[in-house]
Amino acid sequence: MSEQRNSFLEQVQSQIKSKEARAFVSAELHHHLNEVKNYWLQKGISEDQAEEKAVTQMGNPISIGQNLNRIHRPKVDWMTLILFAAALFLGFLPLLFQGNIANHHFSTYKVVFIIMGGMLALIMMFIDYRKLANKGWLFYLLGTLLLLFLTKNFNTFTEGQFVFKVGPLKIEGLMTIPFFFLAWAGFFQSNRFKMWKFLLLFVLSLYFFLEFSLTTLFIYVIMTFTMIWWSKLNKKKIAIVLGSVFALVATWGVIGWMTVAYYQKKRLLSFINPYNSEEYFDLSKVHHLFMDAGWFGKHLLVDQMIPQANTNFVFLSFTYYYGWLFAAILFLVLSLVFVRIAFIAKRIGDSYTKLLLVGVMIIYTIQLVGHVGMIVGFFPMTNMSLPFISYGLMPVLLNAFLIGIVLSIYRRKDLLSTSTVHANQQ
Amino acid sequence: MDKRLKNLKKTMNREVFAQLKFTENHKKSIREKIKQETHSDEEILIAIMQLLLQKKTGYQLISLLQSRGILNFKENEGSLYVILHRLELRSLLTSSWQEDGAKFYQLNKKGRKLLKKVEEQPLSNHLSFKEILEG
């Protein structure tokens, strides 16, 4: 490369802020200069003269660079950020109605959790998610190791779940979902990924997930089965595999049903049809309290009436205290997050990015629909937390991570069609 | 104020303009600028879009524009890429890179629609056009 060309390209690049844009703008101009140079060489002038002509024909590097910078400036998705902040802010409201304001720990922790969540989302925004595409194996390994660690090293056992507790921190199986999410997105975008590999890896991970709560397992399975539709695997094959998995589970269920003890049957029945159960706090009570709330709520402290009022039943206690109107607004804000992500996903063609957004949407939706659905009464009893609102570090971090991925994608969405240039240059 | 600027002209003559010569090149470029003004920005943009109905690189596009008599990009070829990137950002174009580093552009469905609209009613759609031209 001649000195003249070098200094021209450097001057253009010096005006462009985005590192990614710099690389592909320079590659494109480089190619153009080569073409022009070839043209002049064919006309029979010397190498040096051709090079000089090519560069001067380009025009003023500073103004080109400035204009391109305006186009390729990294973008912040204010819409998602505002919705994220609004949801986190709404997450403070449940604290007000529990008389827990007196309990300083509780609100201090909540503030700390939210700050950590916000920081995680911002850090994720600055990470170039495209660099994670070929690290599927790494994430799979990390996820599996974490699951293994949790099953071997748990020190608390709550509600039939392994939990690793360090001070106020609880590390649950839910923590591994982001790792497997990145792992599957990485695997599915690859052309070389085969069905037998999927089955092997899926069954292996499932074996570990079975040790954890049904909710985590449910999120994991739905996430994987949704993402696989956007993979490069043959659609027919996917349908056959998923069909046989469901058939297998169904047969296992039927055989299991005939062999389990009476009390186990009863438990299962109450899970499917909760209105017949005799548990202390069942779905009929939930439904009753929900209908009782009215449009403007009862404004009564609810922690006596509702167990887990700030985690698993937060939407119920929220509704009971503030009423249906406020509950509808809360639901609307949380749904808008989904709508916003869907809007971004619609305009993106890149397969890895699409897989990530599909994964984000499904993980988010399961939680939202699962939690609200349970309380409104069409979803079985689970311990699904309401995104951003439920108390607890793990759920906040999980959803902050999802938002961070969306912000990172939005920031680079206009560079997508050109991402192949990196491979060409190196 | 007057006092401060009094010596400006003299200083400029001494320091700046002494090194500046009005060469044949300058004369030529001014003449060309005058000639260029026969094409409005809209006309150029329409020409670019028409040419991009088929897949082309920026380099191919410039030579075709020149053969249509549009000389705006002479000695200013880089600015064509600014327009191309703007069109791409507004998702009127799709682009693809080739192994040898060439980037090809082509009008997509949305771009073809806009082109058709502008060709049919040249004066009605200046707003979206202005956005593209001014960034």
Domain membership flag for residue B7: no
pLDDT of residue A275: 47
Cβ contact B78–A72 (<8 Å): no
Percent of chain A with pLDDT over 70: 82
Q: Is residue B22 part of a domain?
A: no
Contacts of A367 (CB under 8 A, 6+ apart): A219, A384, A385, A386, A387, A395, A399
Do A311 and A331 lie in one domain? The reply is yes
Give strand pairing partners of B57. Answer: B104
A48, A71, A94 - which closes a domain = A71
Q: How far is CA A266 from CA A149, A252, A263, A271, in A?
A: 33, 18, 5, 9
Nearest to A28 by CA among A62, A68, A66, A60: A68
Chain A interface, mutation test: which of B97, B98, B104, B134, most A Cβ atoms within 10 Å?
B97
- Closest-CA distance, A66 to chain B, in angstroms, reads 10
Residue A373: count of CB within 10 angstroms of its CB: 16
pLDDT of A102: 53
Does residue A117 carry a pLDDT above 60?
Answer: yes
Q: What is the pLDDT of residue A276?
A: 45
Provide the pLDDT confidence category of residue A401 given band limits of 50, 70 and 90. very high
Q: What is the pLDDT of residue A424?
A: 40
Residue A178 and residue A205 share a domain: yes
Distance CA A193, CA A242 (A): 17
Give CA A259 to chain center in angstroms: 39
Q: Are residues A255 and A351 in the same domain?
A: yes
Contact B97, A420 (CB under 8 A): yes
* Residue B12: predicted pLDDT: 80
Give domain status of residue B123, yes or no: yes
Domain shared by A126 and A264, yes or no: yes
- The Cα–Cα gap between B87 and A224 comes to 37
pLDDT of residue A368: 92
Q: Which residues of A touch B82 (CB under 8 A)?
A: 64, 67-68, 71
Output the pTM of the full model. 0.74
- Which residue segment(s) compose the domain that B50 sits in? 40-134
Shared domain for A148 and A265, answered yes or no, is: yes
Confirm whether B9 is domain-assigned: no
Sequence-ordered list of residues with C-beta below 8 angstroms from that of A292, at least 6 positions apart, any chain: A298, A320
Residues A252 and A180 in one domain: yes
Average pLDDT rounded to a whole number, residues A400-414: 90
Contact B93, B106 (CB under 8 A): yes
Strand partners, B96: B104
pLDDT of chain B along its 135 residues, tens only?
566 777 888 888 887 777 777 788 888 887 776 665 567 778 888 899 999 999 999 999 998 998 888 888 888 899 999 999 988 888 888 888 887 888 999 998 888 988 888 888 766 555 566 666 665
Residue A248: is its pLDDT beyond 70? yes
Radius of gyration for the alpha carbons in chain A, expressed in angstroms and rounded: 27
A304 and A340 in a single domain? The answer is yes
Residue B5 lies in a domain: no
* Number of domains chain A contains: 2
Q: Report residue B53: phi and psi, to 5°.
A: -60, -30
Domain that holds residue A18: 3-71
Question: Could you give the dihedral angle defined by the CA atoms of residues B51, B52, B55 and B61, in that order, rounded to the nearest 10 degrees?
Answer: 60
Rounded alpha-carbon distances, angstroms, from residue A175 to A68, A120, A131, A155: 41, 14, 22, 16
Pair A346, A410 in one domain: yes
Domain count, chain B: 1
Does residue B54 belong to any structural domain of this protein? yes
d(CA A376, CA A288): 10
Strands (E), chain B: 56-57, 93-97, 103-107
In this predicted structure, the answer to whether residue A146 has a pLDDT above a threshold of 80 is yes
Look at residues A41, A71, A101 and tell me which one is the last residue of a structural domain.
A71
Between B88, B102, B135, which is nearest A67 by CB?
B135
For residue A422, what pLDDT is reported? 42
Identify the CA nearest to A333 among candidates A116, A80, A50, A108: A80
Residue B112 falls within a domain, yes or no?
yes
Q: Give which of B65, B74, B79, B133 to mutate to test A binding, by max A Cβ within 10 Å.
A: B79
**Alpha carbons B122 and B133: distance in angstroms, whole number:** 16
Contacts of B78 in chain A (CB under 8 A): 12, 29, 58-61, 64
Nearest to A94 by CA among A318, A332, A319, A333: A318
Q: Say how far apart CA B15 and CA A424 lie, in whole Å.
A: 48
Nearest-angstrom CA–CA distance, A48 and B104: 28
Instruction: Answer yes or no: do A35 and A102 share one domain.
Output: no
Interchain contact, B100 vs A31, CB within 8 Å: yes
The pLDDT value given to residue A306: 66
Instruction: Say if residue A83 is in the same domain as residue A67.
Output: no
The yes-or-no verdict on residue A359 having pLDDT over 50 is yes
CB A116 within 8 A of CB A397: yes
The domain spanning residue B78 has which CATH number? 1.10.10.10
Q: Is residue B15 part of a domain?
A: no
Residue A68 contacts B where some CB pair is shorter than 8 Å: yes
Interval A303-332 mean pLDDT: 78
Are A82 and A23 in the same domain? no
A209 shares its domain with A326: yes
DSSP category for residue A369: H
Phi, psi of A41 (to 5 degrees): -65, -40
